[in-house]
Amino acid sequence: MTEMVFGATPVRAGDPILPRWWRTLDKWSLACVLGLFAIGLLLGLAASVPLAEKNNLPRFYYVERQAMFGGVALVVMLVISMMSPRQIRRIGVLGFLASFLLIAALPIIGTDFGKGATRWLSLGFVSIQPSEFLKPGFVAICAWFMASSQEVGGPPGKTYSFGVALIIVVLLALQPDFGQASLVLFSWLVMYFVAGAPMFLLLCVAGMAVMGGAFAYGASEHFARRINGFLSPEIDPRTQIGYATKAIQDGGFFGVGVGEGSVKWSLPDAHTDFIIAVAAEEYGTILVLAIIALYCTIVIRSLFRMLRERDPFARIAGTGLACAFGVQALINMGVAVRLLPAKGMTLPFVSYGGSSVIASGIALGMLLALTRSRPQGELAEILRRRG
């Protein structure tokens, strides 16, 4: 408990890997991740039963699958969290290359499952959404480029990272998946800012993003329909946003009661994109605030730990991963309360979905690895050694 409050103890040479990992790990963030996963299973018990009955499956079919996917995700997260920054960089680059190839092949071998966007690769027994696995790898490779540009005689890594970001954003927009494209661009902007980019350049990129959105509005009926629905002063009660808004209003502060909610019978995506509406209706604002607090704890603690980090790659990548994780949660909940246009984005560790939860496990494993205490990388230790 003392370590959780005051920070991990210094690493001692010759320590076995497990004791060293446990001492240097951010245990509060790990506890928050486990809390989010437990809440996801709890909400899945309510939200996925109607879908299972509709598809003539056992009542807890989707809950059992989520538990299985979650178990894999937690194991992957813990294994990755034991790695060094150099190992994180390597697996991130390899993961990015594999995901990039799959995304590039989606127009040929992908499927849209009737949702109007070719985002999935169907293997029969399971489907994969490559863009979910792309995000942690994208952060790693861009952080590597940006960190290498800070070395004496280093390559123009920031330019390389911008080229990679531009290619990924275009590929995702062509699916179309503007939500993931926006998240990728945001992650790149945050990392570029941390790497020391001039504010003028960031404003130029933001302006390009606005112009790209205006072009997409005129060229994509799918995108325009969602923007028009968001800007409409009235909410159609028969739409997903209409159902979600009513559920949140009906839930009040303490909710209507466990299992007593009705939105799960109306929303086709109640167990995925709109899981927060189920939480608000059955458990009330109190559970929603608890979920927000868990996400905020992970992001804020990670960013504070990055302030002490002197390894450029670890600092840039850790900041990108933390911000991407937090903003994805913000987008999902913002859509449910109509603060943002509908984007089809899951709530990390809470929404149902194998790709989502396993990719979140990879990203959080990388974040936990990069935020582990490394006294040898802090400025105070460097000055002490030089003295």
Mean pLDDT to the nearest integer, 127-153? 91
CA–CA separation, 279 and 260 (whole Å): 11
Mean pLDDT to the nearest integer, 254-261? 82
- pLDDT of 98: 94
- pLDDT of 222: 63
Question: Which is more confidently placed, 152 or 195?
Answer: 195
Q: Is the pLDDT of residue 285 over 80?
A: yes
CA–CA separation, 373 and 88 (whole Å): 15
* Residue among 43, 44, 46, 37 nearest 73 (CA): 37
CB 110 within 8 A of CB 130: no
- pLDDT of 382: 46
Q: What is the mean pLDDT of the chain?
A: 84
Q: What single letter denotes the amino acid at residue 289?
A: L
In the chain, the percentage of residues whose pLDDT exceeds 90 is 43
CA–CA separation, 315 and 304 (whole Å): 11
pLDDT in tens, 337-358: 888 877 778 899 999 888 899 9
In this structure, the strands spanning 121-122 and 127-128 are antiparallel
Q: Is the pLDDT of residue 92 over 90?
A: yes
- pLDDT of 8: 43
CA angle 3, 4, 5 (to 5 degrees): 90
- pLDDT of 227: 73
- pLDDT of 12: 55
- pLDDT of 116: 66
Distance of CA 366 to the CA centre of its chain: 12
- pLDDT of 274: 87
Q: In the 8-state DSSP scheme, what is residue 352?
A: -
Under the banding of pLDDT at 50, 70 and 90, the label for residue 15 is low
User: For residue 312, how many C-alpha atoms fall within 13 Å in the half-sphere facing its CB?
Assistant: 16
Mean pLDDT to the nearest integer, 278-303? 94
Q: Which helix (H) or strand (E) holds 122?
A: strand 121-122
By the 10 Å C-beta count (0-12 exposed, 13-18 middle, 19+ buried), 73 is classed as buried
Other C-beta atoms lying within 10 Å of the C-beta of residue 6: 8
Select the highest-mean-pLDDT range: 101-115, 136-150, 216-230, 365-379: 136-150
At 121, give phi and psi (nearest 5°).
-115, 110
* Residue among 367, 267, 208, 275 nearest 45 (CA): 275
- pLDDT of 383: 47
In the chain, the percentage of residues whose pLDDT exceeds 70 is 88
Q: Is the pLDDT of residue 329 over 60?
A: yes
